[in-house]
Amino acid sequence: MFTFTTVVDALQQRVAVSGPKPAFIFHDKHGGRCVLTWQQIYRLGGRWAAVLKSGSTGQGHLVLNTLPNSPERVIVETGILLSGAASVNGQCQLADGSDLLHGLHVSRARAIILDPDVPNSPWKILEKLVSLGEDGSVTSEELPHLKLVYFVRRGEKGDDEDFLTHLENLSDWYQADVKPDDVVSVFTTSGSTGFSKLVVHTHHNLVLWNTMSHPLFDDSKEHIDLILSPLGWLGGYAGLPFVTGHQRVLCDVRGGGHPDDVVDFVWRCLQEEKCTMFFVSRFIIMQLAERVRKSRQEKVHGGESSISWEWVPECILLGGLPITRAMVQAASHLAKTVFVDYSSTDFYLIATLEVDDPDTFVDHDAGLVVKEAQVKIVDTEDENVILPVGQVGNILAKTSGMMREYLNNPQATADAFTADGFFRTGDVGSLDARGHLIVVGRGSDAIMRGPYIFYPGWLEARIRACPGVSDVLVVGVPDPLLHEELCACVVLASDHVTTQHMREFVERDIVTTEDDSLSLQPRYYLRFESFPMTDTGKPRRKVVKKQAALRLALK
């Protein structure tokens, strides 16, 4: 059993035991494969930490990291850890860069890490606002806290312009004395303003994953996990394998972008690496299960299978949105065991379920509350009233690994907790007679779209800026794969304005990446003559939502 109190301690112990073994295995869309061993990560991470130290960046500082999933991102994150600083997940999805600038302003980051050569690089926004010195130092009236820009480029191996090659050519190495209560990283989560809230976690929080009462955290077995989540999310964070000891298989997005056929990519990774566990989106699971089903039919009828399923992973993990029986049934064809987890960036793992029989799974069942957590269901009007078994109310939770705070946002932090320390999850649900937590969905206007919780207010404000738009409501409509899809319901000023004009306006406003299956852009646009209103003059959002689903014939 490994024992450690910081993520840095955990990495040191993994290096001592598994040094030359793979820690991260990257596949790219062109069939390329790159392996980072535990020793490589520690060696190169320490060299990057020395670079940060030479720029007076270390303990108490925050570094905004905008790199996508890639070997470079893992090394950069490790170097930030070893330097004693903490990373902040940097986002740049809006064409005007307002989300990037929001992250820099709120975090007061001392440094930013980016690749200036990639499409839609954050540097295109930033270079207009800063004066850059030859040593990477910057000055900016708009961003007074920002002192350094680090350019992380990928080039030919052996070329010193290539980031990893450059680190191999360095000799200085550094590791700070990190404490359990130090900030380990600042993650992003959904925000009602459209900008992500910045969620602060400590080393102490993350090392709790090693003691979680969950079968997936069994240190006595070898684990190879396929996880496509961004390395800047808590569930995909590069430091988690240091704690769990699991090998991680993922996509190298810098190696040509996202896969053209992500379902085929997942299948190939699972089979080639013989992954024991995988966690991917609902869309991928449903599509992959359908391909496997068709392949088995082809084989039964003597045909040539289009996809083989020779290696069967030990388990598949479902989470991120209310889970249905259909989804569990599909997942059961892809792994020996199906797990359902209820967790979030703010409060970690709350409940888990190992599914016994997919055909009798109860929709939205998240399983038993883990021993490290407490849950209570309270009245939606008075949270001092705890509801009895079976009644639906607001879900409040308390865990040993809850976030420290929302960074530099004391009001949001205060609003998130009750007087007795329970976190207001924003979800509604119930506890059944078995003690299982049933998570029905969100209790607000938020839209549950795939792994994202989407607050529509900020997007509505941007669409209202489109000429000819009088009013707009963005609502969630049923989707068989994502749970809900975005639908913009609009009242137009004249017949000369069309929904196509609005679609083009939004496409220009929001950056589209190569992987836009979960873009922030609405999938549907519907025209309304007017919105039904309440007695106080507010639009009836729930009524509009039902009308939109009916008009689109969605169930």
Q: Give 306's pLDDT tier (boundaries 50, 70, 90).
A: low
Decide the pairing of beta strands 436-442 and 365-369. antiparallel
Q: pLDDT > 90: what percent of the chain?
A: 63
Q: Is residue 494 part of a domain?
A: yes
| pLDDT above 80: residue 112 | yes
**Region 246-266: what's the mean pLDDT?**
92
Q: Quick one: which H or E segment has residue 133?
A: none
CA angle 237, 63, 104 (to 5 degrees): 105
Q: Give 494's pLDDT tier (boundaries 50, 70, 90).
A: confident
Q: Give 545's pLDDT tier (boundaries 50, 70, 90).
A: very high
In degrees and rounded to multiples of 5, residue 171 shows phi and psi of -125, -30
Q: Give 514's pLDDT tier (boundaries 50, 70, 90).
A: very low
**Region 326-355: what's the mean pLDDT?**
93
Q: What is the pLDDT of residue 489?
A: 94
Q: Is residue 267 part of a domain?
A: no
In tens, the pLDDT along 131-142 reads 999 999 999 999
Residues 190 and 339 occupy one common structural domain: no
Q: What is the pLDDT of residue 417?
A: 96
Q: What is the pTM of this model?
A: 0.85
Tokens of 260: 């053209």
| Least trusted range by pLDDT, from 59-73, 87-101, 191-205, 323-337 | 191-205
**Region 265-285: what's the mean pLDDT?**
93
| Least trusted range by pLDDT, from 168-182, 193-207, 401-415, 501-515 | 501-515
Contact 423, 349 (CB under 8 A): no
List alpha helices for 282-402, DSSP H.
Answer: 282-300, 325-332
What would the 3-class secondary structure string for 325-352 be?
HHHHHHHHCCCCEEEEEEEECCCEEEEE
| pLDDT above 50: residue 513 | no
More confident of the two residues 528 and 218? 528
Residues 438 and 460 occupy one common structural domain: no
Contact 349, 214 (CB under 8 A): yes
Last residue of a domain, one of 216, 235, 251: 251
CA–CA gap between residue 527 and residue 247 (Å, rounded): 49
**Region 456-472: what's the mean pLDDT?**
83
**Region 45-49: what's the mean pLDDT?**
98
| Least trusted range by pLDDT, from 181-185, 234-238, 502-506, 512-516 | 512-516
Q: Is residue 60 part of a domain?
A: yes
Q: Looking at residue 399, which CATH number applies to its domain?
A: 2.30.38.10
Q: What is the pLDDT of residue 265?
A: 96
- The amino acid sitting at 297 is Q
| pLDDT above 80: residue 64 | yes
**Over the range 174-193, which residues count as b (16 or more CB within 10 Å of their CB) and which as e?**
bbbebebebbbbbbbbbbbe
Q: Is residue 295 part of a domain?
A: no
**Region 342-361: what's the mean pLDDT?**
92
**Over the range 284-296, which residues count as b (16 or more CB within 10 Å of their CB) and which as e?**
bbbbbbebbeebe
Q: Is residue 260 part of a domain?
A: no
Q: Is residue 269 part of a domain?
A: no
Tell me the sheet residues that pair with 37: 22
Residues 27 and 135 occupy one common structural domain: yes
Residues 200 and 337 occupy one common structural domain: no
Write the CB contacts of 420 (distance below 8 Å, at least 6 apart in sequence).
none
**Region 377-389: what's the mean pLDDT?**
93
| Least trusted range by pLDDT, from 219-223, 232-236, 551-555 | 219-223
Distance set, CA 233 to CA 175, 191, 199, 246, 346 (Å): 24, 14, 10, 17, 11
Residues 529 and 430 occupy one common structural domain: no
In tens, the pLDDT along 425-445 reads 988 899 999 999 999 877 777
Q: What is the pLDDT of residue 515?
A: 42
User: Average model confidence (pLDDT) for the chain?
Assistant: 90
Query: 508 in helix, strand or coil?
Result: helix
Q: What is the dihedral sign for C-alpha 257, 263, 264, 265?
A: positive
Residues 199 and 341 occupy one common structural domain: no
| pLDDT above 90: residue 253 | yes
Residues 229 and 90 occupy one common structural domain: yes
Tokens of 167: 């680190």
Q: Quick one: which H or E segment has residue 318?
A: strand 315-318
Q: Give 397's pLDDT tier (boundaries 50, 70, 90).
A: very high
| Least trusted range by pLDDT, from 8-22, 83-97, 485-499 | 485-499
Last residue of a domain, one of 221, 251, 281: 251
Residues 324 and 410 occupy one common structural domain: yes
**Over the range 5-35, which residues count as b (16 or more CB within 10 Å of their CB) and which as e?**
ebbbbbbbbbbeebeeebbbbbbbbeeeeee
CA–CA gap between residue 504 and residue 487 (Å, rounded): 15
Q: How many domains does the chain have?
A: 3
In tens, the pLDDT along 149-202 reads 999 999 988 888 899 999 999 999 999 999 999 999 999 986 555 678 899 999
Residues 346 and 406 occupy one common structural domain: yes
**Region 463-474: what's the mean pLDDT?**
86
Q: What is the pLDDT of residue 381?
A: 87
List alpha helices for 33-107, DSSP H.
Answer: 38-54, 71-83, 98-107
Q: What is the pLDDT of residue 213?
A: 63
* Host domain of residue 397: 312-442
| Least trusted range by pLDDT, from 352-356, 411-415, 443-447 | 443-447
Contact 460, 450 (CB under 8 A): no
Residues 147 and 207 occupy one common structural domain: yes
Residues 324 and 464 occupy one common structural domain: no
CA–CA gap between residue 402 and residue 140 (Å, rounded): 35
Q: Is residue 466 part of a domain?
A: yes
Report the Cα 7 to chain-centroid distance in Å.
20
CA–CA gap between residue 554 and residue 36 (Å, rounded): 45
- The amino acid sitting at 391 is Q
Last residue of a domain, one of 407, 442, 477: 442
Q: Looking at residue 451, which CATH number applies to its domain?
A: 3.30.300.30
Residues 435 and 454 occupy one common structural domain: no
Q: Give 511's pLDDT tier (boundaries 50, 70, 90).
A: low
CA–CA gap between residue 62 and residue 64 (Å, rounded): 7
Tell me the sheet residues that pair with 188: 198
Q: Give 3's pLDDT tier (boundaries 50, 70, 90).
A: confident
Q: What is the DSSP letter of 209?
A: G
Q: What is the pLDDT of residue 516?
A: 44
| pLDDT above 60: residue 512 | no
Tell me the sheet residues that pair with 479: 483
**Over the range 323-359, which residues count as b (16 or more CB within 10 Å of their CB) and which as e?**
bbbebbbbbbbbbebbbbbbbbbbbbbbbbbebeebe
Q: Is residue 353 part of a domain?
A: yes
| pLDDT above 70: residue 477 | yes
